Structure 1
Amino acid sequence: MYRTGSSLSDFEDNNKVLAKKTKIVMLARADLLAECLTQAISTRFQGHEVVSLSEADSLLDGNLEDVALIMLYRIPASTFPSVIRTIHEFHPRASIGLVVENADELDSSIAGFVDEGLIHGVLPLNLHLDVCLTAIDLLMKGGEHFPAALLRRLAPRSPTGSTLPAQRDTCAEAMAPAQKSDIGRGLLTTREIQILDLICMGTQNKIIADRLGLSENTVKVHVRNIYKKMNVRNRTEAASRYFRHDGDAGPPRWRN
């Protein structure tokens, strides 16, 4: 009887090991928004363990293993560099997402970490919750998510010191074709330009499909064609190229 009980206990222990969940860590100063976002993440990603931390030193806890994503919110700029170093040293496989109030007003020292590729995503608070959770899912799968406003700030500067290209509206319909740079060797259709503009605004495929009256599969096909024509691998690279003139680009050419 005792041997049988021991075997069942071992079986249960083994199952607990097999059922071990990867972790999503929310490192934030406690406030209502952090609590609500943590709850939303817990509900959406039930296959993961969500851990709330208020102190960066808690990242050094030896029991904090199998971390897939670390979300940062309201981290002081003065301590931000040490937090990033700690994450990369102790949780090198974890993606890093930064929740900010306004991408336009992101501290320049923090924006530098984005420019260096040390942060994998930036999520402004004005994102719709569904879009925010989709972006978090993208980060956990090794992708990146950056708002267009931040990418414009990080765009290369001309010898005169002005950002390239000049400030513009984000909607394709509001822009004259002559204001757009030639992107890649292929020519983007009007529909692809519309989708690219929405991509640059951080809009996910499902939302793009709904906004343009297309199926999500159709949007995915357009996105693949955009990547191919622009010779880029992901949304970040596409947006980055869209906000600057390529040195070898010819005159603007767009087709309907």
Structure 2
Amino acid sequence: MLLIIARQDTMSDALHAAVERAFPWLDVRLIPEAAQARELAQSNTQLILIDLACYAEFASLDDEARFPDPASTVAVMAPMHLDPDDFLVSRILSGAVKGILPTDVNLDIWLSILQIMLKGGEYIPPNLIRKLQGAHHRVADSASIQADLASAARPEAARRMLEKLTTREQEVLCMVAQGCQNKVIAADLELSENTVKIHIHNIIKKLGVHNRTEAAALFFANEKTPGVQA
């Protein structure tokens, strides 16, 4: 099975149909939210392909839901010229993410890369490899970053950490977790983009995380238990 976790603007119906035509022997499942992976996870899942906007939520799920089969490959769909944050860098370096499938290449190339991944191969765009090499020094201990996030992502710990945020910061974090850009958050909350940046900076500092992706992971972990509602 090929399990795709992606929003409509990343994985359109036409692209979904193109995948089914190119790989007719595969059971292709498309879901918009990572939490639904719990229901669809199967032991014969060859590849779990995840929209970058959904990855923080996916990473917060337990190992059983994320990796029903140890042989399953996990890859992320992202723009070719992605500037990866430290969390994604650590996931790639640790092998948790086996590749990046560019979302801004033509269909033939996209399907060719997908075929490589379905066969167990790995693909990282050349320009991203250079960025990973440059970012490697920022990730002094990728294992400790993952361990810290996993510990903080426990529901009760996440709830206590999110209690540090103001109501406005919780509102901003909720939209960040939904994958909204700063300009969208600013328009929806009637704030300036600069104010949104300040809120995000304060959120990251208060939660003790490295970036907005890790902050979003805490938000989704908190959704598993009663407590602060962002």
| TM-score between both structures, scaled by the size of structure 2 | 0.52
Q: After the TM superposition, which residues 114-133 of structure 1 pair with which residues of structure 2 at under 5 Å, given as runs?
A: 114-133=92-111
1:73 aligned to 2:63?
A: no
Asked if the contact 1:99–1:123 (Cα under 8 Å) also holds between the matched residues in 2, the reply is: yes
Amino acid at match of 1:46: P
1:95 aligned to 2:70?
A: no
- Matched residue SS, 2:47: strand
Aligned residues: 138
1:39 aligned to 2:17?
A: yes
Displacement of 1:134 in angstroms is 1.0
- Matched residue SS, 2:60: helix
Separation in structure 1 between the aligned mates of residue 43 and residue 136 of structure 2, nearest angstrom: 45
| Candidates 58, 74, 82, aligned match of 2:60 | 82
Displacement of 1:122 in angstroms is 0.3
Separation in structure 2 between the aligned mates of residue 85 and residue 125 of structure 1, nearest angstrom: 26
Separation in structure 1 between the aligned mates of residue 17 and residue 70 of structure 2, nearest angstrom: 25
Aligned to 1:53: 31
Asked if the contact 1:60–1:90 (Cα under 8 Å) also holds between the matched residues in 2, the reply is: no
Asked if the contact 1:80–1:110 (Cα under 8 Å) also holds between the matched residues in 2, the reply is: no
Amino acid at match of 1:30: Q
Larger Rg: 1
Q: After the TM superposition, which residues 172-191 of structure 1 pair with which residues of structure 2 at under 5 Å, given as runs?
A: none
- Matched residue SS, 2:28: strand
Separation in structure 1 between the aligned mates of residue 71 and residue 32 of structure 2, nearest angstrom: 21
Displacement of 1:116 in angstroms is 1.4
Amino acid at match of 1:72: I
Q: Which runs of 5+ in 1 are unaligned?
A: 1-22, 162-256
Displacement of 1:156 in angstroms is 6.2
Asked if the contact 2:43–2:68 (Cα under 8 Å) also holds between the matched residues in 1, the reply is: no
Separation in structure 1 between the aligned mates of residue 2 and residue 123 of structure 2, nearest angstrom: 17
Displacement of 1:97 in angstroms is 1.8
Aligned to 2:212: none
Displacement of 1:86 in angstroms is 5.0
C-alpha root-mean-square deviation of aligned residues, in Å?
2.8
| TM-score between both structures, scaled by the size of structure 1 | 0.47
Aligned to 2:116: 138
Amino acid at match of 2:97: I
Amino acid at match of 1:155: Q
Displacement of 1:85 in angstroms is 3.9
Higher RCO structure, 1 or 2 (CA under 8 Å, sep 6+): 2
Aligned to 1:155: 133
Asked if the contact 2:99–2:124 (Cα under 8 Å) also holds between the matched residues in 1, the reply is: yes
Displacement of 1:61 in angstroms is 2.1
Higher helix share: 2
Separation in structure 1 between the aligned mates of residue 54 and residue 127 of structure 2, nearest angstrom: 21
Q: For each residue in 1:194-218, what CA deviation from the matched residue of structure 2 results, as whole angstroms up to 9, or x when unmatched?
A: xxxxxxxxxxxxxxxxxxxxxxxxx
Aligned to 2:82: 104
Displacement of 1:141 in angstroms is 1.0
- Matched residue SS, 1:98: strand
**Structure 1 range deviating more: 96-105 or 73-82:** 73-82
